[in-house]
Structures are given as C-alpha cells and as structure tokens.
Amino acid sequence: MITIFFYLFFCFVAIIYLYRTEWKKSANQQYIKKTFFDKKFIFSLLGFILLHWIIRLILIYLQFPLLSENTKLLIKGIEDDKIFSLFALCVLAPLAEEFIFRFLVFKNFKKSNVFTYLFSFLTFIFYHYCPGENLITFFFQYFVISFALVYFYWKSKWKLTVTILAHSLINFMFFINVIYLPTFIIF
C-alpha cells in the first residue's frame, strides 16, 4: 500500500513539473514528437531491445535463471489484475521512476559528471532489486533498460517526456509478452 502512495505522490509531482516545463510550450511538444518518432531514436530503441535479447540468450546458454524475483512479482500482478497492472506499468511506474531516477538525479548533480550517469543507471537497477535475487540475472535483466533510459534522457537534451514514453513502451511490451506468451518471457 505504501508503494502505491509513493508512486502516486511522485506521479503527481512529475505531472506538475512536466506541465510547467515541457508540456506547456508547444515548441517542446514538436521537439518531443520529432525526437520520439525520429529514425535514430527508433533504431536506438530497437538496438537496445536486440541487445537485451542477446544478453538473455547468453544467460539461457549459461543456464542462469531467466526471471528475476521482481519480474515474477510483476507477472503475478498482471495475472491477478490486468487493468490495474497495465495502468501501473505503463503510467505510474514510468512517471514516478523517470522523475526520480532521471530528473531528480540529473537536476541535483552535474550533467557533465560521469558519476551522475552512473548513479542514475545504478540506482534504477538496484531500486528493482528483491532480496534473494540472483545478482547476475538481476543485473543483466535491468542493465540494458537502465542504460537505454539514461541514453535517451541525454540524447533528448534532458526531456523527461521522452524517457517516460520509452519506459512506458518497454513496460507495455513486457505486459503484452506476459499476456500473449506467458511461458516465454523475452522482456
């Protein structure tokens, strides 16, 4: 229950921030449309997805468990309540997590410092950690996604909307995967 309030609070703050900075200006909306539907962005996203799949195939070959504890919890949540899970995965989580792990981190630390990127990257990964997790499986489960989101934030010139949309798209692909291929989770 605390997690839901946590997400709702940060979603509320993120929406206020986005409205006051990125969404209010029509020029930025055009920029975001150009960025999100740009060929480079789409190919980058597809490249990150392909890299994620290659890493998963390597983990399969090395016989590591494929599902992290967090992924198992998400699958159970989707099976229990599809509508709320879709809303939580594609709206609440991207808004709150991108606001915290991208906006707040880069707002409070220097964007020119490599440790800021590393901090954003690692805090996102370890936020999703569950006790008892196989660290190798867990790290590689979130490695590509975290790197991709930091990369998109940097490439979009610090436009939070771009990373929220990318995060939503990644979570939506996971949701569709669980619904239609529950025995073969590829995300």
Q: For residue 117, is it within any domain?
A: yes
- What is the model's pLDDT at position 157? 85
pLDDT in tens, 5-21: 666 676 677 777 776 67
More confident residue, 120 or 156: 120
Mean pLDDT of all residues belonging to the chain: 82
Q: Which amino acid does the sequence have at 138?
A: F
| Burial state string for 109-123 with b = 16 or more CB within 10 A and e = fewer than 16 | eeeeeeebbebbbee
Residue 3 has pLDDT above 80, yes or no: no
Predicted pLDDT of residue 122: 94
Task: Identify the weakest region by mean pLDDT among 5-14, 52-61, 102-111, 148-157.
Answer: 5-14
Each residue of 68-122: pLDDT tens digit?
778 888 889 999 999 999 999 999 999 999 999 999 999 899 889 999 999 999 9
Return the minimum-mean-pLDDT range out of 19-23, 49-53, 118-122, 138-142.
Answer: 19-23
- Judged against a pLDDT cut of 80, whether residue 29 lies above it is answered with no
pLDDT value of position 31:
57
For residue 123, the model assigns a pLDDT of: 94
Q: Which domain holds residue 101?
A: 32-180
The residue type of 76 is: K
Q: Which of 36, 64, 61 is nearest to 163 (CA)?
A: 36
Closest by Cα among 72, 74, 69, 96 to 85: 74
| pLDDT attached to residue 136 | 80
Phi-psi sector, 131: left (phi>0), alpha (psi -120 to 50), beta: beta
Whole-number pLDDT of residue 156? 85
Beta-carbon contacts of residue 7 (< 8 Å; ≥ 6 apart): 88, 92, 93, 95, 96
Give the HSE-up count for residue 167: Cα atoms under 13 Å, Cβ half-sphere.
Answer: 28
Say what the pTM is.
0.84
Please count the structural domains in the chain: 1
